[in-house]
């Protein structure tokens, strides 16, 4: 069974506690299709619900329920229909809950996050924050249950499915200029791994500059987009996509080796609550960003050495000037990758310039 936030913390207790936390705000938009959301909420805990019960709980006719069940299936949910008995999700879904994430964040020691927005559907959480960026967006976290145009690095599409992925972005303002942001994507990768470890998920590593991998398979991707001045105030929108339980149709569209938390933990054990994961990632990220702003990249070098998926691997570096080869030998104090060529010389490779393949 997946862990569900609602099982840990009933709604009444949540409302009471949130009213005592005035500095954090949660917003949630109305769903793209409120009836479909209502239907999913009624099924989310994985119990079987009869057609009649669903109709009574959601106010939807039984014919309309059937139509929406089909739509949820197309969106990647594994829904079992048992004639005469009802409908059931094969795996419970911990639907994103802004109040739950806000509450968990507020209980973590330091958080520079002051707003959590949960959307049912967006084109991309990164695009949402980047569009018309204003400095007061700093500290805003945005999550979407569905991304219709999720973006990856190098113009790729980021694939995700309803209930089976975590797609979130955080806006952050920096005062020391874009040139001081070298190494930021590595810092984000480390923060994600720290959060996974806190949630009991071990064994992830960073493939420089910013993939989170397990045994060479991608578990999470990071897209950092920056704007502002080279030497003055600037901002970053940090997007993270984490595979939790990818459905076969979504997975078949991914053109690289991938994994998800369900595969890592084994199907019988289930996956951690998505709300708990989101809060852990945001809290870890916020701590890392505050440290990075204060002390730069250097303090993260040791963490990276522990999580370095490429160390000692033979690489092909695909750059605009052609391919080159060498052996990965860690990073420098700014977060650039050190590659030892055949003649024993170290070459430094900056992120963004290249694509890395292990040979």
* CB burial readout 258-270, b (16+ within 10 A) else e: bbbbbbbbeeeeb
**E strands, the chain, where?**
25-28, 79-82, 86-89, 115-122, 140-147, 165-174, 205-207, 211-214, 217-228, 234-243, 314-319, 322-331, 337-340, 346-349, 355-358
Closest to 145 (Cα-Cα) out of 20, 44, 7 = 44
Of 113, 105, 289, nearest to 186 (Cα)? 289
Window contacting ligand BTN (CB under 6 A); options: 3-11, 54-62, 151-159, 306-314: 151-159
Segment lying near ligand BTN (by CB under 6 A), choices 149-157, 195-203, 285-293, 303-311: 149-157
Of 38-46, 163-171, 193-201, 247-255, which segment contacts ligand BTN by CB under 6 A?
Answer: 163-171
Which DSSP symbol is given to 157? Answer: B
Report the C-alpha gap between 161 and 164 in whole angstroms.
5
- The residue from 25, 73, 91, 156 that contacts ligand BTN (CB under 6 A) is 156
Task: Report the residue from 221, 228, 270, 335 that binds ligand BTN according to the rule CB under 6 A.
Answer: 221
CB of 1 to ligand BTN, least distance (A): 26
With b for 16 or more beta-carbon neighbours within 10 A and e for fewer, the 285-294 pattern comes to bbbbbebbbe
Give percent helix, percent strand, percent coil of the chain, each to the nearest 5.
Answer: 35, 30, 35
Among 126, 138, 173, 271, indicate the residue that binds ligand BTN (CB under 6 A). 126
Q: Which is nearer to ligand BTN, 222 or 285 (CB)?
A: 222
What six digits make up the tokens of 112?
A: 């520079």
- Binding to ligand BTN (CB under 6 A) within 236-255 occurs at 239-241
**Given the complex with ligand BTN, which of 58 and 126 has the nearer CB atom?**
126
Site for ligand BTN in 4-43 (CB under 6 A): none
| Pairwise CA distance, residues 160 & 323, whole Å | 31
User: Binding of ligand BTN at residue 150 (CB under 6 A)?
Assistant: yes
**Residue span binding ligand BTN (CB under 6 A) among the ranges 165-173, 198-206, 261-269, 293-301:** 165-173
Closer to ligand BTN by Cβ: residue 58 or 125: 125
Positions marked catalytic: 153, 218, 357
Instruction: List binders of ligand BTN among 179-208 (CB under 6 A).
Output: none
**Residue 124 sits in the site that holds ligand BTN (CB under 6 A):** yes
C-alpha 257/C-alpha 213 separation (Å) is 10
Q: CA angle, corner 120, sides to 118 and 126, nearest 5?
A: 65
Helix (H, G, I), strand (E, B), or coil: what is residue 339? strand
Residue 306, token pair as written in the block:
């522990």
Among residue numbers 299 through 338, which ones bind ligand BTN (CB under 6 A)?
none
Chain position whose Cβ is nearest to ligand BTN: 221
For 284, the enclosing helix (H) or strand (E) is helix 274-295
Closest approach of ligand BTN to the CB of residue 55, in Å: 35
**Binders of ligand BTN: how many residues, by CB under 6 A?**
20
Binding to ligand BTN (CB under 6 A) within 279-298 occurs at: none
Q: Which stretch binds ligand BTN (CB under 6 A): 68-76, 145-153, 292-300, 330-338?
A: 145-153
152 binds ligand BTN (CB under 6 A): yes
| Binding stretches for ligand BTN (CB under 6 A) | 124-126, 147, 150-153, 156, 158, 167-169, 211, 221-223, 239-241
């Amino acid at each position: 069974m997946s862990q569900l936030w609602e099982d840990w913390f009933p709604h009444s207790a949540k409302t009471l506690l949130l009213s005592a936390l005035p500095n954090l705000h949660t917003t949630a938009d109305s769903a793209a299709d409120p009836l479909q959301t209502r239907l999913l909420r009624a099924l989310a805990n994985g119990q079987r619900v009869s057609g009649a019960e669903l109709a009574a709980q959601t106010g939807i006719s039984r014919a309309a329920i059937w139509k929406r069940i089909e739509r949820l299936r197309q969106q990647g949910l594994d829904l079992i229909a048992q004639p005469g008995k009802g409908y059931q999700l094969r795996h419970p879904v911990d639907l994103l809950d802004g109040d739950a994430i806000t509450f968990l964040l507020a209980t973590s020691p330091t958080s520079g996050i002051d707003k959590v927005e949960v959307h049912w559907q967006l084109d991309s959480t990164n695009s949402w924050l980047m569009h018309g960026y204003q400095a007061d967006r700093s500290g805003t976290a945005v999550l979407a249950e569905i991304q219709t145009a999720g973006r990856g690095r190098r113009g790729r599409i980021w694939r995700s499915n309803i209930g089976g992925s975590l797609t979130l972005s955080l806006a952050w303002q920096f005062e020391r200029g874009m040139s001081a942001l070298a190494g930021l994507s590595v810092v984000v990768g480390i923060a994600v791994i720290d959060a996974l470890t806190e949630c009991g998920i071990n064994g992830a590593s960073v493939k420089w500059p910013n993939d989170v991998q397990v045994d060479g398979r991608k578990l999470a991707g990071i897209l950092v987009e920056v704007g502002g001045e080279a030497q003055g105030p600037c901002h970053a929108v940090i997007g993270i996509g984490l595979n939790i339980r990818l459905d076969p149709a979504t997975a078949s569209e991914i053109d690289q080796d991938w994994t998800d938390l369900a595969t890592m933990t084994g199907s019988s054990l289930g996956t951690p609550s998505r709300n708990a994961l989101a809060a852990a990632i945001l809290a870890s990220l916020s701590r890392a960003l505050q440290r990075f702003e204060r002390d730069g990249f250097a303090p993260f070098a040791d963490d990276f050495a522990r999580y370095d998926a490429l160390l000692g691997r033979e690489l092909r570096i695909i750059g605009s000037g052609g391919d080159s080869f060498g052996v990965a030998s860690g990073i420098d104090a700014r977060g650039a990758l050190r590659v030892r060529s055949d003649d024993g010389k170290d070459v430094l490779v900056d992120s963004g310039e290249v694509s890395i393949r292990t040979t």
